[in-house]
């Protein structure tokens, strides 16, 4: 659907009080190449009688300014130092904020809010010159008021400064300030030295996620080249029937041995690899983003809002992955997640310093994350819980799993970003592998195409 949005000029929201002027190094997890991205998320709120007459944009903007007094590094600007080390200069310049009004109700927006959110460009305006990792605001907010009394909060965050859990911590501090608190209920903690390389650094684990790839065959396999190959984003939604249909591909004794995330990651990794049509002896990978906040292999102090994650991967040849049963892929996904422990994390940190903070390998790799239970679904500014919340776009090799309610059912959403012919083959493979009970339960949300910037 088309959406008419009237936006005010973007403005900078600075901390409400003077803050320290200083420079702080990011951790050696924060500034790895793969996290040097801007991540968009949205939160949709319906009208609530108790908040009638209150302006969500004004309330959030004023409370955010007060919260930034405590989260003042987020109001600064990043720069790159020696060996690509990222440093934030705490200048107090502020974060970008946009007020907007849309001539639509929440009900009319409907599935246009779901990943990959074809309305995103209207609900989170890309302020010219703001997309860089260094020298730019690290946060962008847009509050779009709706005619029904609800609103959409769009946020874009620089992943090097915080993960989504850290973003949620800032949002909860903003709620505290909006409620009249003098300080956040959870005191923010910088402490990025917690994930600083050892002296001397040394790599003790195999890191398939960062290995050199065969770039000679990358154009052929991924169909992303210098001619701006068209990419398409689509979202795949899996309800209970769909998940049971996939689980039925496993031997009965394995049905209760894996999580939905593990099962769906294995299933879609296999489908995606078949769609990419690699050579049988090509090395393929799956990389699982594992949060320390759920893994607990390294205790985190309360209030830490930096990145607390690693990206363990496994590798195999294309032929056994594509020709073996789903059980083979599932075993590898579980193996990747099981790698995560304190020594693995320390080895990653040292790898970053010794190898120049590389990106994860892109060639025949798929990076998956489960952001369904990160807390963003519980952020309540007074308009009750969001009817939808989460990361709404995928990247060419990264997908964030989300959750949504369809009636009484919990549905898993998986956005994918692939070149057009590969996406067609992927859709065909997903359907080919499933039973008829799944076909009626699988939903595709089709946005406009985008052009590859790789």
Residue 184, C-beta contacts closer than 8 angstroms, at least 6 positions apart:
67, 70, 172, 173, 176, 177
Q: Give the C-alpha separation, 319 to 288, whole Å.
A: 21
Tell me which of 126, 214, 225, 380 is the catalytic residue.
380
Are the CB atoms for 274 and 326 separated by under 8 Å? no
Q: Give the C-alpha separation, 95 to 90, whole Å.
A: 12
Q: Tell me whether residue 182 is one of the annotated catalytic residues.
A: no
**Is the dihedral angle over the CA atoms 234, 159, 411, 404 positive or is it negative?**
negative
Strand 309-310 relative to strand 398-406: parallel, antiparallel, unpaired?
unpaired
Tell me which of 28, 159, 163, 441 is the catalytic residue.
159
Are the CB atoms for 221 and 282 separated by under 8 Å? yes
Alpha carbon of residue 386 to chain centroid? 18
- Residue-wise over 94-116: b if at least 16 C-beta within 10 A, else e? bbbbbbbbbebebeebebbbbbb
Alpha-carbon distances of 79 from 166, 191, 439, rounded to whole Å: 20, 19, 49
Q: Tell me whether residue 159 is one of the annotated catalytic residues.
A: yes
Residue 407, C-beta contacts closer than 8 angstroms, at least 6 positions apart:
none
Q: Which residues are catalytic?
A: 159, 380
């Amino acid at each position: 659907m088309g959406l008419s949005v009237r936006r005010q000029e973007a403005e900078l929201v600075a901390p409400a009080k003077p803050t320290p002027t200083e420079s702080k190094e990011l951790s050696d997890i924060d500034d790895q190449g793969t996290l040097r991205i801007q991540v968009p998320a949205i939160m949709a709120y319906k009208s609530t009688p108790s908040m009638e007459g209150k302006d969500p944009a004004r309330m959030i903007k004023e409370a955010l300014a007060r919260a930034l007094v405590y989260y003042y590094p987020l109001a600064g600007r990043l720069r790159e130092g020696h060996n690509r080390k990222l440093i934030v200069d705490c200048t107090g310049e502020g974060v970008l904020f946009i007020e907007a009004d849309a001539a639509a109700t929440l009900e009319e927006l409907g599935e246009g809010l779901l990943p990959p959110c074809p309305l995103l460009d209207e609900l989170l305006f890309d302020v010219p010159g703001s997309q860089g990792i260094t020298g730019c605001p690290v946060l962008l907010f847009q509050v779009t008021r709706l005619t029904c009394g609800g609103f959409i909060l769009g946020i874009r965050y620089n992943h090097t400064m915080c993960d989504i859990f850290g973003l949620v911590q800032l949002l909860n501090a903003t709620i505290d300030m909006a409620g009249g608190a003098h300080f956040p209920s959870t005191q923010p903690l910088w402490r990025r030295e917690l994930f600083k390389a050892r002296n001397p650094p040394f790599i003790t684990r195999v890191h398939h996620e960062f290995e050199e790839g065969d770039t000679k065959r990358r154009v052929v396999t991924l169909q992303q080249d210098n001619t701006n190959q068209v990419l398409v984003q689509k979202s795949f939604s899996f309800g209970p029937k769909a998940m049971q249909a996939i689980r039925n591909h496993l031997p009965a004794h394995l049905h209760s041995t894996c999580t939905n995330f593990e099962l769906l990651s294995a299933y879609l990794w296999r489908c995606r690899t078949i769609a990419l049509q690699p050579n049988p002896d090509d090395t393929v990978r799956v990389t699982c983003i594992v949060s320390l906040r759920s893994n607990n292999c390294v205790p985190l102090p309360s209030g830490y809002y930096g990145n607390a994650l690693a990206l363990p991967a496994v590798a195999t040849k294309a032929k056994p992955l594509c020709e073996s049963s789903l059980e083979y892929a599932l075993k590898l996904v579980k193996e990747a997640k099981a790698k995560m422990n304190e020594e693995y994390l320390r080895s990653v940190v040292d790898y970053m310093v010794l190898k120049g903070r590389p990106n994860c390998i892109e060639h025949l790799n798929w990076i998956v994350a489960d952001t369904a239970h990160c807390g963003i679904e519980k952020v309540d500014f007074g308009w009750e819980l969001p009817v939808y919340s989460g990361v709404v776009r995928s990247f060419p090799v990264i997908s964030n799993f989300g959750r949504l309610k369809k009636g009484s059912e919990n549905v898993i959403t998986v956005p994918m970003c692939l070149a057009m012919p590969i996406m067609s083959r992927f859709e065909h493979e997903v359907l080919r592998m499933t039973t008829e009970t799944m076909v009626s339960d699988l939903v595709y949300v089709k946005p406009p195409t985008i052009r590859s910037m790789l």
